[in-house]
Structure 1
Amino acid sequence: MRWVHYLGIAVMGMAVYSLRLKAPFTADDHFIFLKLQQGGVFGFASQPPSMFFRPLISLHYYLDYVLWGVYPLLSHFINLLWHTLCGILVWRLTYRLLIRWGWTPFQAEPAAYWSAVLFTILPANVEAVAWFAARADMVATAGALGALILLEQFQKQGKAILYWGAVLCFAGGLFCKESLLTFPVMAWLWLRYLGIPSAGRLLLPFWGVWLLYLVLRTWAIQGVGSYPHAWETLTRPWLLVVNGVAYLFQMGMPAILYGLGRDHWDTLIWGVWGLGMLLTLYGWRSQRVEKPASSIDWRLLMGLALLAIVPVIIFKPSPFYFLNSRYTYLASAFVVVGAGAWLYLMARRGAWLRAGLALVLVAYYGGALRQVDAWREAGDVARASLMSLRHTPSDTTLLILSLPDHFHGAYIWRAGFHEAVALLLPERAPQPMYVMSRFTMRLRTDVAVHFGEGVATLSSPQDIFLPPEGVRTPPGDEVIVMPDKLIVPLAIQRQGMVLLYSGGEFVPVYGH
């Protein structure tokens, strides 16, 4: 039966993410490929100077580059395979925990399947799967879940190979992404929960890997690394709590919060989800459900989930758009263990509960499809806008008023613009090219930039300009960036050809 469940997880993943497979790369994807092109197998996040130290994920990306080049279809498919693997690991972890909690195999198998399905279709996980650059989150999660499962098997069988396999899983995950820095504490909690004696002694190799990583990371980064503004969060402890709550809230959302009441699809998805939750609550209260004989240890699950998000709460989440939702990919694996088991128990208690839970799952599936489609459109916008530069003069400086930053929570040119030019338009790489700002595409991709008398505005009142980030800005006078307009000094306009974004392309401003 479990192989049928594994196949069901894979089919569900394909049903959600097939829209993204052929879509072009976006944002940081181009930065990664250019770094690999220039620096080889460990060209990305492995050597000084670097903000991050992720040598094994650099190897992952390099294999993509060597085997099929800059080809989105296969790279996105590999991401989907990792997501499927993580879904299967969620199934295995759920099953083993439920058996420990007194469930029968007949109960545990379908409950584990619902946990894995919920993990597979959770809209908050779309960023980690649909974005090539976020593969590190899935590989790190696979390493963490694999390590926990192997430690549980080690507790039962006592085989050293299982223990050292867990250490290797942790090392592989940590050297892919620093989000596993708290894993030794998670492993200690896990070993104590399993009742393994000498848990502290068994953790010594884990702490050894942890220390080795920090030493190498300090060498590669030559400092604390990460983004400077993220570390400023530590000066405001209350913000860490706010970020943590926001991440947990975002994890359970069916669609972006900004679309509620503004976009008909997002509003419909929220409506279905809300109705499902109301029916579930009504069914639960009307049935007067007694405490089930089969238990769920929420303290363990939430403890693991909170430890999983500790390394990332210095980064600001955005429930309005699902931005940075990839950071809760591992935490969501622990939450869905309990949620899927609870779903299974409640679905057996009455028609109202079954109807409500079915609507919630439909909302999550629809929300995931909506978000995957947003990443597809973001890729199309990134590709079309970049290729439109081929129609501009190559013998003059190009001054781009504003880059599209993200659409519906999917990154377009958050970063990687100049790297994309060097990678896909190498003949334009030497050409002076400057960017003055970014702008949002919150709900529509047909947003255009208008320009006249030195002032740029947006065609959509819902969208705003953002300061430039990760791009080359024009030398000389500073461009004034405000949410509703962009003021460009005449001295900058005279430096070259001014381009605005319209109709999916960068086009010259009339008169320039």
Structure 2
Amino acid sequence: MMSSQQNLKSRFASEKRLMRLSNRIYSLLILAAIVGCGILAYASVFDDFFLSDDFVLVALFSQLGPWGLWVNQQHGQSLFFRPVLSLISFFDYQVWGVNPFGYHLTNFFFHLMNSLGVGLIAFFLAKRLKFQPSYRRILPYLAGFIFLLLPSHTEVVSWISARTDGVATFFGLFSFVFYLAYKHYYQPRFLLLSGLVFLAALLSKESVVTYPGLIIIFELYEYFIKQNNRNRLVARFVIVSLYIWMLIIYFFSRFFKLGELVGGYGEEVHLSFDATRILQNLVIYPTRTFIPPQFELDFTFWLIAFLGLVLLFVLSLAVCWKRRPKFSEVPAILGFLIAAFYILVLPAITVWVSAVDTQGERYLYFASGFASIFLAIILIVILQNLAFILVVSSAILLYFGTSVYDINQNWNTAAKISEDILVSLQEIPKSQVIINSLPDNYHGAYIYRTGLIQGLFLFDESNQFEIEFNRQKINPAFENVKFTTDNIRIVMNHSLVEPSDSIIVNNPEASVYQFQLSHPQASFYAWKKNDLETEDYQVTNLESHQYQLRFTDVSRAEDLVFYSSGKLADKL
């Protein structure tokens, strides 16, 4: 009798081990499929050349060492306090030098880790739902998969310089993972880890300052909505205070280093509250998270898409009401996720995320993690059938993945043009040039909004244009750093609609040139760095589609260099 019981226990233990092993294999296969799809979506950008600010980033590290990103070359002084990001990027420079492949790998690695972070957050939230076991198991994978392939992520992943948001989001997401682990296991070490990782997020990008709001609304959710009174309000305030203290440490360190609290693009941008723009952003931001840029559609499209999201939310609430108490926990979780999204995009609510191309979509990256969990829960609640969930989510993920692949072709094109311009300029037999215009971006993929001088500094071994690096201390907090040359002038920048876009040139009289963009939807940009009037020339009749260049020093007309179809040439 005793032997029979032992055999049954042994068989039960063996079956349990086999089940655990099969679950692990199942999980590994799903994770492998997710990673494989991510690689397919982004593999085309791994070999892309540097773009715009990428040249600035690498050039600064080559001269300033591990703290190169503390100095913002474009603005002439350091307005950013990002030591953790600087160290991570400097490590890339030490390993890869001027090979962009490794920098792209790092960006993609952080994106994969962020997808894992989203999945872990969904895992802990799923424990608070009364879903059947199969739904709870699939939710983390689905949420992480959605985040991996969202079409609003190409700027962060495909553009090396946008890694700022990828790195800050990595620390932000895992800070929340450790916080949820503390709430689940009640082990203080998880809470301490959460606070320290949050500080690392702040030291990667300042826009994470609203993160404590995430903790506050989750504590309120537990106390009032979930009615979990395990901790009194005082105890919950102690938890929140940890993150407040991290903010205080951060702001003190930032002020000590920079001498001011508001940096970045300045108070005129970050503290400028335009009610119309803010209201539009409240509509565009959540929809732009899920929908790729639409080149020829106006705000009406995004308003309709927003109403569609609202309708999905209302439909899910109706299902939850009908299926209560099974889905009674869902509305509160969905409300938390919506609040989390808007709290995390709050620092960018006064800026601009383009609806027609990829410019600025990096501001949505952190918040999109919670939007991904929101969409995954909505799909499970509305469909309520594992087969339907898999079919519909596969269709959505296929749409997301193909959108990412298509958008990445813009980054491929921009990178090719960036490299061709750098090479073609070095092949021009001149030591002084005046460039009529450089492409600013191609459908939002930046090309040479900045970075040409730094690109030549890195890749032109002959130093054909005599580029110098200057560094001057202003005060204990600031120093000016500049890559300068008197031998290159850039008159204008312009957008590209097609890779073959060119600039039509007319020379009505000696030393006078009229330039017109070949594509009617392209535009000239006169940035602050563009010299429209110098001792050698002046720009007149400037419009979005054309301008006139008149040389006051006739001899300098010989130094004019023309942009056309992705390259520079000294002859028409």
Q: Which has the larger radius of gyration?
A: 2
Match of 2:534 in 1: 475
Match of 2:379 in 1: 343
Counterpart AA for 1:505: K
Match of 2:18 in 1: none
1:145 matches 2:173: yes
Instruction: From 434, 453, 464, give the equivalent of 2:489.
Output: 434
In structure 2, distance between residues paired with 1:288 and 1:174: 39
Match of 2:35 in 1: 10
State the secondary structure of the residue aligned to 2:563: strand
Counterpart AA for 1:107: Y
State the secondary structure of the residue aligned to 1:495: helix
Matched positions, count: 491
In structure 2, distance between residues paired with 1:219 and 1:494: 51
Match of 2:552 in 1: 491
Greater alpha carbon shift after TM alignment, 32-41 vs 287-296: 287-296
Match of 1:156 in 2: 184
Match of 1:89 in 2: 117
1:384 matches 2:420: yes
State the secondary structure of the residue aligned to 1:301: helix
Shift in alpha-carbon separation, 1:259–1:421, aligned structure 2, 3 A? farther
TM-score (normalised: structure 2): 0.79
Counterpart AA for 1:18: A
State the secondary structure of the residue aligned to 1:182: helix
Aligned 8 A contact 2:135 2:386 in 1 = no
Counterpart AA for 2:201: G
Aligned 8 A contact 2:438 2:448 in 1 = yes
CA drift of 1:306 comes to 0.3
Q: Encode CA deviations 1:342-378: one digit per residue, 9 max, x unaligned.
A: 2234444599987765543332221111111211111
CA drift of 1:479 comes to 2.0
In structure 2, distance between residues paired with 1:232 and 1:172: 22
Map 1:39-438; keep pairs closer than 5 Å. 39-45=64-70, 49-195=77-223, 196-197=231-232, 198-223=235-260, 224-228=262-266, 231=269, 234-253=272-291, 255-258=292-295, 291-292=322-323, 293-294=326-327, 295-296=330-331, 297-348=333-384, 358-395=394-431, 397-426=432-461, 427-430=463-466, 432-438=487-493
Aligned alpha-carbon RMSD (Å) = 3.0
State the secondary structure of the residue aligned to 1:488: strand
TM-score (normalised: structure 1): 0.88
In structure 1, distance between residues paired with 2:79 and 2:282: 23
Match of 2:475 in 1: none
Match of 1:266 in 2: none
Aligned 8 A contact 2:288 2:355 in 1 = yes
State the secondary structure of the residue aligned to 1:379: helix
In structure 1, distance between residues paired with 2:55 and 2:257: 22
Q: Encode CA deviations 1:475-498: one digit per residue, 9 max, x unaligned.
A: 235424321102212226743511
Q: Encode CA deviations 1:412-467: one digit per residue, 9 max, x unaligned.
A: 1122222212122251352510111111113x111111222321111111211111
Greater alpha carbon shift after TM alignment, 112-121 vs 209-218: 209-218
Greater alpha carbon shift after TM alignment, 25-34 vs 445-454: 445-454
Aligned 8 A contact 2:51 2:448 in 1 = yes
Q: Encode CA deviations 1:295-325: one digit per residue, 9 max, x unaligned.
A: 2522100111001001112221110112100
Match of 2:476 in 1: none
Aligned 8 A contact 1:2 1:109 in 2 = no
Counterpart AA for 1:215: F
Greater alpha carbon shift after TM alignment, 357-366 vs 327-336: 357-366
1:450 matches 2:511: no
In structure 1, distance between residues paired with 2:502 and 2:554: 19
In structure 1, distance between residues paired with 2:516 and 2:106: 40
CA drift of 1:471 comes to 5.5
Counterpart AA for 2:506: G
State the secondary structure of the residue aligned to 1:52: coil
Q: Encode CA deviations 1:96-123: one digit per residue, 9 max, x unaligned.
A: 1122022243211212212111111111
Q: Give 5+ residue unaligned stretches, structure 2.
A: 1-25, 224-230, 467-484, 508-512
